[in-house]
């Protein structure tokens, strides 16, 4: 895999316009929000590197997905905008505005932003950037979260901006509106604020019941809480997958989704809602033998983005 290690070996375009592409890749090499094993700052590089496995795709050429009987990403052009520059060991008060500002620039360009993390704390400033573009008079975006953890801790040891708190921060600051979670399964204590999240309207799909329901009934019922055709941000923590297939993450939990289960839900959300962007976080290469977490992360990005643009081709779609 020779050449510049951009995502899918796509062109490096720091300030893209719609003339350059349709999807803008943005890296956030940040893990100051981790509460245990660090290393997710290396996630963007790992995701870009393994994406070279699919670099045989030329420009807007389609992939043929024989399992799903569809052309994936036909006509969709990617550009890589590089990483957000973050001063080493800087506090959230410094780094978060840089992340949000960069995301806002990409949204204004008209491209679909896909953000490579980084720990999950970055989702909060990303949503700040989304709301900056949308304006105060527009309701906050719907947030669909794939995760093993609720990330609704208020603080840990006095720290309010960790990878355990992006959802509560975004909810309380009204940069995330309706919230739907899939894959939650960790053991919870009082600090997880499970009852508080439920009281505020967060809809949580616990992992094992979700897997059983998918097997028995498919995904239609599971998608009903996702409000149709409203602006939606997807945040995908790689630890929602079974660590047997994606071990490279900071806080792995037993159980989790298979690739096929996560793909079905991602594509279902993209078909039902109006996805305006997504992040994929918590890939930690130093714990990722065989680059399996990065591999699954890239493939799920391709699946999700493909579904977003398939929806945009529908005759009744309005963006």
Residue 38 has pLDDT above 90, yes or no: no
Residue 12 has pLDDT above 80, yes or no: yes
d(CA 166, CA 150): 9
Helix or strand or coil: residue 233? Answer: strand
d(CA 22, CA 13): 12
Please state which of the ranges 93-102, 155-164, 241-250, 278-287 shows the lowest mean pLDDT. Answer: 155-164
Residue 318 has pLDDT above 60, yes or no: no
Residues 61-68: what's their mean pLDDT?
88
pLDDT for the residue 189: 84
Please check whether residue 229 lies inside any domain of the structure. Answer: yes
Please check whether residue 28 lies inside any domain of the structure. Answer: yes
Of 103, 98, 125, residue with least CA distance to 114? 103
Burial of 318 from C-beta contacts in 10 A (0-12 / 13-18 / 19+):
exposed
Of 90, 282, 93, residue with least CA distance to 183? 282
d(CA 143, CA 186): 20
Please check whether residue 2 lies inside any domain of the structure. Answer: no
Q: What is the pairing mode between strands 176-184 and 70-72? A: unpaired
Please check whether residue 208 lies inside any domain of the structure. Answer: yes
Percent of the chain at pLDDT above 90? 79
| Count of the separate structural domains present in the chain | 1
Please check whether residue 284 lies inside any domain of the structure. Answer: yes
Q: What is the CATH number of the domain that holds 17?
A: 3.40.800.10
Residue 88 has pLDDT above 90, yes or no: no
Please check whether residue 210 lies inside any domain of the structure. Answer: yes
pLDDT for the residue 37: 86
pLDDT for the residue 275: 98
The pLDDT confidence band at residue 270, using thresholds 50, 70 and 90, is: very high
The answer to whether the Cα torsion of 250, 254, 257, 259 is positive or negative is positive
pLDDT for the residue 186: 86
Higher confidence at residue 66 or residue 90?
66
Q: What is the mean pLDDT of the chain?
A: 93
Per-residue model confidence as pLDDT tens digits over 90-140: 788 899 999 999 999 999 999 999 999 999 999 999 999 999 999 877 899
Say whether pTM exceeds 0.85.
Answer: yes
pLDDT for the residue 59: 80
Please check whether residue 54 lies inside any domain of the structure. Answer: yes
Residues 140-147: what's their mean pLDDT?
97
The answer to whether the Cα torsion of 161, 165, 166, 170 is positive or negative is negative
pLDDT for the residue 2: 62
In Å, what is the CA distance from 3 to each residue of 7, 15, 56, 61? 11, 21, 13, 19
Residues 74-97: what's their mean pLDDT?
92
pLDDT for the residue 154: 86
- The answer to whether 66 touches 140, Cβ cutoff 8 Å, is no
pLDDT for the residue 190: 83
Rounded to a whole number, what is the distance in angstroms from the first to the last CA of the chain? Answer: 36
Phi then psi for residue 285, to 5 deg, are -60, -30
**Residue that is written with structure tokens 């940040």 in the block:** 30
Token digits of residue 122: 């970055």
Q: Give the range of the structural domain holding residue 100, as residue numbers without chain letter.
A: 7-312
Helix or strand or coil: residue 226? Answer: coil
Per-residue model confidence as pLDDT tens digits over 190-246: 888 899 999 999 999 999 999 999 999 999 999 999 999 999 999 999 999 999 999
pLDDT for the residue 279: 98
Please check whether residue 317 lies inside any domain of the structure. Answer: no
């Amino acid at each position: 895999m020779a050449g510049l290690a951009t995502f899918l070996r796509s062109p490096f375009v720091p300030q893209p316009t719609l003339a350059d592409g349709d999807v803008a890749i943005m890296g956030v090499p940040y893990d100051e929000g981790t509460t245990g094993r660090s290393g997710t700052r290396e996630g963007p590089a790992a995701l870009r590197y393994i994406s070279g496995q699919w670099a045989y795709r030329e420009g807007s050429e389609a992939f043929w997905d024989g399992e799903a009987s569809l052309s994936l990403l036909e006509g969709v052009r990617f550009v890589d905008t590089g990483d957000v520059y973050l001063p080493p060991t800087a506090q959230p008060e410094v780094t978060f505005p840089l992340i949000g500002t960069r995301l806002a620039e990409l949204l204004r360009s008209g491209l679909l932003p896909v953000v490579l993390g980084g720990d999950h704390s970055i989702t909060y400033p990303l949503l700040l950037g989304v709301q900056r573009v949308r304006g105060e008079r527009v309701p906050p975006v719907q947030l669909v979260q794939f995760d093993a953890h609720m990330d609704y801790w208020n603080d840990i040891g006095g720290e309010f901006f960790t990878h355990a708190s992006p959802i509560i921060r975004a909810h309380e600051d009204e940069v995330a509106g309706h919230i739907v979670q899939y894959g939650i399964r960790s053991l919870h204590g009082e600090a997880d604020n499970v009852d508080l999240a439920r009281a505020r309207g967060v809809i949580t799909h616990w992992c094992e019941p979700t897997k059983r329901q998918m097997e028995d009934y498919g995904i239609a019922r599971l998608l009903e809480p996702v409000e149709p055709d409203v602006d939606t941000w997807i945040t995908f923590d790689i630890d929602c997958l079974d660590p047997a297939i994606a071990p490279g993450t900071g806080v792995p939990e037993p159980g989790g989704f298979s690739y096929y289960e996560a793909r079905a839900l991602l594509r279902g959300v993209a078909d039902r809602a109006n996805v305006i962007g997504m992040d994929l976080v918590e890939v930690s290469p130093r714990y990722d033998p065989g680059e399996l977490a990065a591999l699954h992360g890239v493939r799920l990005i391709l699946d999700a983005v493909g579904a977003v643009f398939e929806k945009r081709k529908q005759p009744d779609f309005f963006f």
